[in-house]
């Protein structure tokens, strides 16, 4: 129908308008690589004891003796063909490394987001429906506290409590116990793969490894989500059309569930997009704490080892994920809010 | 639900000694104090009053829709014999929307923005009737057709933002009528709508109520509206009902002093600026029908009143006289036989605007080729409904924004050629000043009244802090009726009327030759409006300023302006002497506008208007 | 400004002990930051392996770390650096952001739309990653942490100032200021900025907490401040190695310091919001 057409048109324009941003990130990472200390040619030559001639040869092969703009064009061509360079630390092409490690990061992030949303929405709604009551104060207190604890501290304290003290959680390193057998790789998501392989033991093992890092990250984003839900729900409950619905004698369930909630979810949707990208950033910290073999820890290790191709690849990946997430949010928003086509 | 004879004897709704208290930071505030009212079946009761009178609170109390801070602290509200104040939530929900319905001000925000209007009407139906989804939809379609929405099949799946304000109010009416309630409460249902839309909506609302034998409670600040549509009117002031009677009685022979003041302050087709204050009540005006200067006898300088010959004599006597100070370079102006203004012969007009066009982006044309003159010391009115471009013209003429094309000549200079962004440096800046609409938004919240008035003096007259500046500011403030004790206050410490005065004092501080007034009283209560209009009228005489008075209120324009320009969608449809234009409009659009103004005639006991049914 | 404002502040503080406590806590933090070197019980960087990894005791009430350094002293000594980084970053982004944002919001038009879009994109981008990349590119130094933190804060200030100015630009008093002979620039600096300043103060307070977390996060992953300089993030990172063996105090105390600092700023921000506009309480 026309709504569908307007949503797709809007999504199309949004995609086109996000291309400059993507290009900007590419150019940024390119410049980043050029200003970083160290000579890329030395990295890509056979080793630190490579001869001067060999380095010069590598430099020529990599096009580093060409003008900067020409190099940029080469770089763009490389990206377009999926060539993100080679990592020094792993010796693998960056693209392959990222493909190998991305599911770990995504599995963690999605689990955390689902966890956070299932907790934050009911809490925020409950608080908004009982303003000034005990539940409201409790939620507000938890939210205030939640944004104050850095992920790396809460992660470590969770390890202390559930691994060291209680012994409930497994050794907090990696996605699977070293003795466990990984399921055949299909999606790369361990939970899904073990489900496909009907391997309950592995699934459980993977889940028990996942729960602490996911909880750490969920705790971090719980507060902004619950806060936004509460604020937006309160604002909607105080609006004129809710008074109208009450004046027309609609049932409480209908007023809250259909009239208030659907409207209140619109700003929450926007925040969820921002929260998702915050989580992508927070991944760096959480993956480090839990030795999680994801893309963020990969990029961090590379960064600390002055291995820049993976860092570039990582930033590019983040930018692409960010574009996809924003487009998804846009489409969802377009479906949820009929007013959007007007603007 | 036919009323049984026994119930019929008792009123449908009976409010007794109702008290409503709001808990505020400053302690409890009694918003409604011992109000007693009754509405009979089939009756339309009007509740009139200014802001803070407690009229809306009373309505919300009947629906039990007061917000958390408000509480019914005393009295009873009996509807069909049941005390609403004691009902539980379930009973209340069964009552609301079914037997007791309410429509509100600002209809667009009162509808769920992300649900189709058809679904919203169906929601109301299904809340009270065991209807299937499709049956409810079909009934909603009937209801939309019933409130005269064109192409209801199409509109039923529209969202509120796709409908105009008037249409949204019709949808609200359809929802309220859905379950055929016995009583409809309409809280300022047409405030914010254009006057022609207001008339259409109100006519229809009244017709529907009559047709179905319902009772209605119409809450409004507009006495004209109450007079035209109500059987009985209750006047509220500060939480009290001060007077209840038939409109003809209330408006022709008000017994309470507050009602008397309110009636006097409400502009009617015959009122004049002077008659707006309580002293100029109906009796005194009847005695001196043409003595329009009774409020300001010293302002009359007969030798300069123009056009005192021929047919125009009577016209000019009715029009507020055109009497600027002698030193303002007043020029005589001639009127032709029909009373239209001839071009002043000797010096050129103060301002000449020619072919003004304002286009936004590509599509939207706010102003489409407007030309007019303003003579020195003349008062010109600019009327039109929303979207007519009147405020845009005011801003262009004030050189706050640049037009797309067009010339503006002022006092011999082509000020249209100077870009608005640098006009603050032009010598003419001090000569053209502006007064804005909302007195709450027109003052910098971080400036005291003194700073607000001093700002143009500092910037445009180069005055430095010191005695001279202080004297000038105090002089301007006093002239606008602001005591020296108010001068150090910040906007939030001033009342609406006081803020309006500060805005005016700021505008006249540089002694401008042309003052632009953009809806200066639109946000004020009528009694405050009356005082501000009298102030503006007096200032014009004293300072010899020309006015460009922008308003949607035709009565105000008629009182304040010698000449009126009627705008429609960015173009002039008619212009001429106010006295002529308002008594014998030639353009059908103007005729429609004037006919749509709800009015009452003070001093004459008019029979109830057509369509009013005698009570059984 | 006036007694009524003071009364209002007093009213809010009386009714809201939490805000008063937050204000007191912030004052304490600042005092510790200033007095740091004089009130540490031990030398924060003097190691003594013989007393390494001791749990909290009377002598070392927050315990000792893997090099036998007194954790309490290190936490106290780190306050100045952490607050300094956060305060400089926030003031930098506030000054630049408020000016750009209010000029954009007032001017409107194509430049404004363009900047608005860039800001939206920046805000939705994983900012921590951006900061990480920047510190890596500019070099592992404290001032680069400040620049990176300032840069990732900038979009929030621009957006906030822009929105605040945008709702006011068409109000009567702004147009009246033009009619009173003020230039566009004067309208922004003399009229709009003073009006949005209180709302910005809330933002600054909330942002200080965020900046502290951010800087600590960067040093936690080994960027920016380098050991042995005492800094809360580094202390947590050093303690992380010992958490699986149950040496909780290495992480818990610097973590607590971080949390309390952020909590104070956040509560103060919320309190300020209440003082400015009770309706906005969330």
Q: How far is C43 from chain A, CA to nearest CA, in Å?
A: 25
**What's the predicted TM-score (pTM) here?**
0.81
Which DSSP state fits B276? G
Percent of residues in chain A assigned helix, strand, coil, to nearest 5? 75, 0, 25
Please tell me whether residues A34 and A172 are part of one structural domain.
no
Helix axes C71-107 and C232-240, enclosed angle (nearest 10): 120
**CB contact at 8 A, A313 and C131:** no
**pLDDT, tens digit (0-9, with 9 covering 90-100), for B261-319:** 999 898 888 888 888 875 544 433 333 333 333 333 333 333 333 333 333 333 333 33
d(CA B549, CA B561): 7
- A152: which chain C residues are within 8 Å (Cβ-Cβ)? 217, 220, 233, 236-237, 240
Strand, coil or helix: what is B382? strand
- C282: which chain A residues are within 8 Å (Cβ-Cβ)? 227, 230-231, 234
pLDDT at B346: 58
Please tell me whether residues B452 and B532 are part of one structural domain.
yes
Domain for residue A141, yes or no? yes
Distance of CA B343 to the CA centre of its chain: 33
Please tell me whether residues B311 and B423 are part of one structural domain.
no
Of B533, B555, B518, B497, nearest to B224 (Cα)? B555
Please tell me whether residues A117 and A189 are part of one structural domain.
yes
- Give φ, ψ of C104 to 5 degrees: -60, -50
Q: By percentage, how much of chain A surpasses pLDDT 70? A: 90
Decide if C263 and A144 are in contact by the 8 Å CB cutoff. Answer: yes
Q: By percentage, how much of chain C surpasses pLDDT 70? A: 92
Please tell me whether residues A138 and A287 are part of one structural domain.
yes
Of C60, C162, C151, nearest to C105 (Cα)? C162
Please tell me whether residues A81 and A132 are part of one structural domain.
no
**Who among C11, C171, C176 is closest to B506 (CB)?**
C176
Please tell me whether residues B444 and B321 are part of one structural domain.
no
- Mean pLDDT across the stretch B319-329? 35
Domain for residue B423, yes or no? yes
Decide if B175 and A248 are in contact by the 8 Å CB cutoff. Answer: yes
Q: By percentage, how much of chain B surpasses pLDDT 70? A: 84
**CB contact at 8 A, C219 and C148:** no
Which DSSP state fits B492? G
pLDDT at B506: 95
Residues 6 or more apart in contact with residue B454 via CB below 8 angstroms: B463, B469, B473, B509
Please tell me whether residues B419 and B496 are part of one structural domain.
yes
Residue C99, burial from CB neighbour count under 10 angstroms (0-12, 13-18, 19+)? middle
**Alpha helical stretches, state H, A185-294:** 190-196, 200-237, 240-247, 252-254, 261-289
pLDDT at B511: 93
pLDDT at B172: 94
Please tell me whether residues B432 and B511 are part of one structural domain.
yes
Residues 6 or more apart in contact with residue C154 via CB below 8 angstroms: C93, C96, C97, C122
Q: Residue A290: which CATH number?
A: 1.10.3720
pLDDT at C277: 59
Please tell me whether residues B333 and B372 are part of one structural domain.
no
Decide if A153 and C221 are in contact by the 8 Å CB cutoff. Answer: no
Please tell me whether residues A290 and A309 are part of one structural domain.
no
**pLDDT, tens digit (0-9, with 9 covering 90-100), for B329-356:** 334 444 444 444 454 455 678 999 999 9
**Which residues face B380 on adjacent strands?**
B548, B563
pLDDT at B338: 46
Decide if A160 and C217 are in contact by the 8 Å CB cutoff. Answer: no
B37: which 2 tokens? 């009212």
Q: Which domain holds residue A288?
A: 97-267+279-294
Q: How far is B108 from chain A, CA to nearest CA, in Å?
A: 9
pLDDT at A119: 94
Percent of residues in chain B assigned helix, strand, coil, to nearest 5? 40, 20, 40
Q: Which domain holds residue B329?
A: 299-342
A 240-269 near C (Cβ less than 8 A): none
**CB contact at 8 A, B555 and B396:** no
Please tell me whether residues B326 and B417 are part of one structural domain.
no
**pLDDT, tens digit (0-9, with 9 covering 90-100), for A92-139:** 899 999 999 999 999 999 999 999 999 999 999 999 999 888 999 899
Domain for residue A234, yes or no? yes
| Chain C residue whose CA is closest to A172 | C244
Please tell me whether residues A7 and A53 are part of one structural domain.
yes
Domain for residue A165, yes or no? yes
**Who among B96, B114, B159 is closest to A248 (CB)?**
B96
d(CA A254, CA A181): 50
Label residue B129 by pLDDT band (50, 70, 90): very high
Domain for residue B160, yes or no? no
Q: How far is C168 from chain B, CA to nearest CA, in Å?
A: 9
Q: How far is A119 from chain C, CA to nearest CA, in Å?
A: 18
B229 touches chain C (CB under 8 A): no
Domain for residue B305, yes or no? yes
The answer, yes or no, to whether residue B594 has pLDDT greater than 60, is yes
Domain for residue B4, yes or no? no
Distance of CA B130 to the CA centre of its chain: 43
Please tell me whether residues B571 and B423 are part of one structural domain.
yes
- A217: which chain C residues are within 8 Å (Cβ-Cβ)? none
Instruction: Identify the residue among B64, B103, B104, B114 best suited for mutation to test binding to A, counting A beta carbons within 10 A and taking the highest.
Output: B114
C183 touches chain B (CB under 8 A): yes
Instruction: Count how many domains chain A has.
Output: 2
**Alpha helical stretches, state H, chain C:** 3-15, 17-39, 71-107, 109-124, 127-138, 142-168, 172-179, 184-186, 193-220, 232-240, 249-276
- Mean pLDDT across the stretch B393-420? 92
**CB contact at 8 A, A174 and A291:** yes
**Who among A247, A251, A254 is closest to B65 (CB)?**
A247
- Mean pLDDT across the stretch B250-262? 89
Please tell me whether residues B515 and B461 are part of one structural domain.
yes
d(CA B402, CA C172): 18
Please tell me whether residues A105 and A159 are part of one structural domain.
yes
d(CA B293, CA B272): 9
- Any idea where the domains of chain C sit in the sequence? 3-43+67-281
Please tell me whether residues A85 and A101 are part of one structural domain.
no
Please tell me whether residues A163 and A131 are part of one structural domain.
yes
Please tell me whether residues B371 and B481 are part of one structural domain.
yes
- Which of B345-349, B572-576, B590-594, C117-121 has the lowest average pLDDT? B345-349
d(CA B398, CA B514): 9
Decide if A339 and B114 are in contact by the 8 Å CB cutoff. Answer: yes
According to CATH, the topology of domain C3-43+67-281 is: MetI-like fold (1.10.3720)
Q: What average pLDDT does chain A have? A: 83
d(CA B591, CA B582): 9
Instruction: Count how many domains chain B has.
Output: 2
Number of A:C CB contacts under 8 A? 129
pLDDT at B507: 94
pLDDT at C129: 80
The answer, yes or no, to whether residue B202 has pLDDT greater than 60, is yes
């Amino acid at each position: 129908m026309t709504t569908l057409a307007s949503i797709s048109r809007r999504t199309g324009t949004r995609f086109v308008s996000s291309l400059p941003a993507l290009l900007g990130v590419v150019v940024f990472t390119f410049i980043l690589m050029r200003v970083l200390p160290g000579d890329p040619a030395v990295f890509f030559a056979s080793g630190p004891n490579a001869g001067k001639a060999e380095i010069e040869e590598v430099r020529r092969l990599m096009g580093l003796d060409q003008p900067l703009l020409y190099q940029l064009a080469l770089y763009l061509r490389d990206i377009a063909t999926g060539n993100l360079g080679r990592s020094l630390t792993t010796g693998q092409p960056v693209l392959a490394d990222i493909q190998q490690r991305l599911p770990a990061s995504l599995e963690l992030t999605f689990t955390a987001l689902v966890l956070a949303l299932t907790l934050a929405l009911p809490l925020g709604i409950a608080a908004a429906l009982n303003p000034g009551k005990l539940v409201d104060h409790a939620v507000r207190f938890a939210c205030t506290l939640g944004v104050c604890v850095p992920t790396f501290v809460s992660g470590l304290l969770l390890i202390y409590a559930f691994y060291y003290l209680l012994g409930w959680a497994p050794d907090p390193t990696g996605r699977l116990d070293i003795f466990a057998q990984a399921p055949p790789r299909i999606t790369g998501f361990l939970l899904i793969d073990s489900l496909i392989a009907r391997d309950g033991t592995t699934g459980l093992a993977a889940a028990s490894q996942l729960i602490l890092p996911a909880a750490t990250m969920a705790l971090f984003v719980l507060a902004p989500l619950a806060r936004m839900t509460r604020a937006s729900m309160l604002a909607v409950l105080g609006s004129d059309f809710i008074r109208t619905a009450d004046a027309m004698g609609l049932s409480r369930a209908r007023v809250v569930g259909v009239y208030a909630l659907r409207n209140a979810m619109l700003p929450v949707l926007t925040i969820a997009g921002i929260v998702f990208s915050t989580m992508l950033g927070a991944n760096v910290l959480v993956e480090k704490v839990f030795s999680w073999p994801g893309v963020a820890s990969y990029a961090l290790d590379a960064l600390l080892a002055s291995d820049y191709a993976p860092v570039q690849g990582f930033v590019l990946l983040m930018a692409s994920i960010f574009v996809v997430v924003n487009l998804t949010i846009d489409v969802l928003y377009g479906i949820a809010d009929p007013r959007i086509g007007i603007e | 639900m036919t009323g049984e004879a026994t119930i019929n004897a008792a009123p449908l709704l009976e409010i007794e000694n109702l008290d409503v208290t709001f808990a505020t930071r400053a302690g409890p505030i009694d918003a409604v104090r011992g109000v007693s009212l009754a509405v009979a079946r089939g009756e339309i009761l009007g509740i009139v009053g200014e802001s803070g009178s407690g009229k809306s609170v009373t309505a919300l109390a009947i629906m039990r829709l007061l917000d958390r801070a408000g509480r019914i602290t005393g009295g009873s509200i009996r509807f069909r014999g049941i005390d609403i104040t004691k009902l539980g939530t379930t009973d209340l929900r069964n009552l609301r929307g079914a037997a007791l319905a309410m429509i509100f001000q600002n209809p667009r925000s009162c509808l769920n923005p992300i649900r189709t209007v058809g679904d919203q009407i169906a929601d109301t139906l299904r809340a009270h009737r065991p209807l299937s989804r499709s049956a409810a939809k079909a009934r909603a379609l009937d209801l939309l057709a019933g409130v005269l929405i064109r192409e209801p099949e199409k509109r039923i799946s529209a969202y509120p933002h796709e409908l105009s304000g008037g249409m949204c109010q019709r949808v609200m009416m359809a929802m309220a009528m859905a379950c055929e309630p016995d009583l409809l409460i309409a809280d300022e249902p047409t405030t914010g709508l254009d006057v022609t839309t207001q008339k259409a909506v109100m006519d229809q609302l009244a017709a529907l109520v009559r047709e179905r034998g319902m009772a209605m409670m119409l809450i409004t600040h507009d006495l004209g509206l109450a007079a035209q549509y109500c059987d009985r009117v209750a006047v509220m002031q500060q939480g009290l009902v001060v007077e209840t009677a038939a409109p003809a009685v209330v408006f022709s022979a008000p017994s309470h002093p507050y009602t008397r003041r309110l009636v006097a302050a409400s502009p009617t087709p015959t009122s004049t600026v002077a008659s707006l204050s309580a002293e100029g009540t109906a009796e005194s005006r009847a005695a001196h029908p043409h003595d329009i200067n009774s409020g300001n006898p010293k302002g009359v300088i007969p030798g300069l009143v123009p056009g005192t010959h021929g047919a125009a004599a009577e016209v000019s006597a009715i029009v507020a006289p055109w009497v600027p100070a002698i030193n303002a370079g007043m020029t005589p102006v001639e009127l032709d036989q029909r009373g239209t203004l001839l071009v002043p012969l000797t010096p050129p007009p103060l301002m000449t605007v020619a072919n003004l066009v304002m286009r936004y982006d590509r599509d939207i044309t706010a102003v489409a080729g407007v030309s007019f003159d303003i003579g020195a010391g003349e008062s010109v009115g600019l009327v039109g409904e929303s979207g007519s471009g009147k405020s845009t013209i005011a801003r262009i003429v004030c050189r706050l924004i640049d037009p797309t094309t067009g010339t503006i000549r002022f006092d011999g200079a082509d000020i249209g050629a100077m870009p608005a962004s640098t006009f603050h440096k032009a010598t003419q800046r001090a000569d053209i000043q502006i007064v804005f609409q909302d007195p709450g938004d027109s003052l910098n919240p971080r400036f005291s009244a003194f700073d607000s008035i001093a700002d143009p003096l500092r910037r445009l007259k180069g005055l430095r802090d010191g005695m001279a500046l202080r004297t000038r500011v105090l002089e301007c403030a006093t002239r606008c009726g602001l005591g020296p004790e108010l001068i150090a206050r910040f906007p939030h410490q001033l009342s609406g009327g006081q803020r309006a005065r500060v805005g005016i004092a700021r505008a006249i501080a540089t002694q401008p030759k042309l003052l632009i007034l953009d809806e200066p009283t639109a946000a004020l209560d009528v009694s405050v409006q009356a005082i501000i209009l009298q102030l503006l009228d007096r200032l014009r005489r004293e300072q010899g300023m020309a006015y460009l008075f922008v308003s949607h209120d035709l009565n105000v324009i008629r009182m304040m302006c010698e000449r009126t320009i009627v705008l429609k969608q960015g173009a002039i449809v008619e212009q001429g002497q106010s006295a002529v234009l308002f008594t014998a409009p030639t353009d059908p659009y103007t005729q429609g506008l004037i006919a749509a103004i709800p009015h009452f005639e003070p001093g004459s006991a008019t029979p109830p208007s057509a369509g009013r049914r005698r009570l059984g | 400004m006036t007694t009524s404002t003071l009364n209002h502040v007093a009213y809010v503080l009386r009714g809201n002990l939490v805000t008063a406590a937050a204000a007191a806590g912030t004052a304490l933090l600042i005092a510790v930051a200033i007095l740091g070197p004089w009130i540490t019980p031990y030398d924060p960087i003097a190691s003594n392996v013989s007393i390494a990894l001791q749990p909290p005791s009377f002598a070392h009430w927050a315990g000792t770390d893997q090099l036998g350094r007194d954790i309490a002293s290190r936490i106290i000594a780190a306050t100045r650096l952490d607050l300094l980084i956060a305060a400089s970053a926030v003031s930098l982004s506030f000054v630049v952001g408020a000016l750009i944002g209010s000029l954009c919001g007032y001017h409107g038009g194509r430049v404004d739309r363009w900047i608005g879009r860039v800001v939206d994109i920046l805000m939705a981008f994983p900012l921590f990653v951006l900061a990480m990349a920047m510190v890596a590119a500019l070099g592992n130094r404290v001032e680069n942490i400040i620049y990176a933190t300032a840069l990732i804060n900038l979009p929030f200030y621009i957006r906030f100032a822009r929105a605040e100015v945008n709702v006011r630009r068409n109000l009567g008093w702004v147009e009246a200021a033009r009619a009173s002979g003020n230039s566009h620039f004067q309208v922004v600096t003399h009229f709009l900025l003073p009006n949005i300043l209180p709302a910005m103060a809330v933002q600054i307070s909330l942002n200080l907490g965020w900046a502290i977390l951010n800087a600590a996060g960067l040093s936690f992953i080994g960027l920016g401040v380098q050991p042995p300089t005492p800094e809360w993030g580094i202390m947590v990172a050093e303690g992380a190695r010992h958490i699986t063996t149950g040496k909780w105090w290495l992480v818990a105390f610097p973590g607590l310091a971080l949390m309390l600092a952020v909590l104070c700023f956040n509560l103060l921000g919320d309190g300020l919001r209440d003082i400015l506009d009770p309706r906005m309480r969330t």
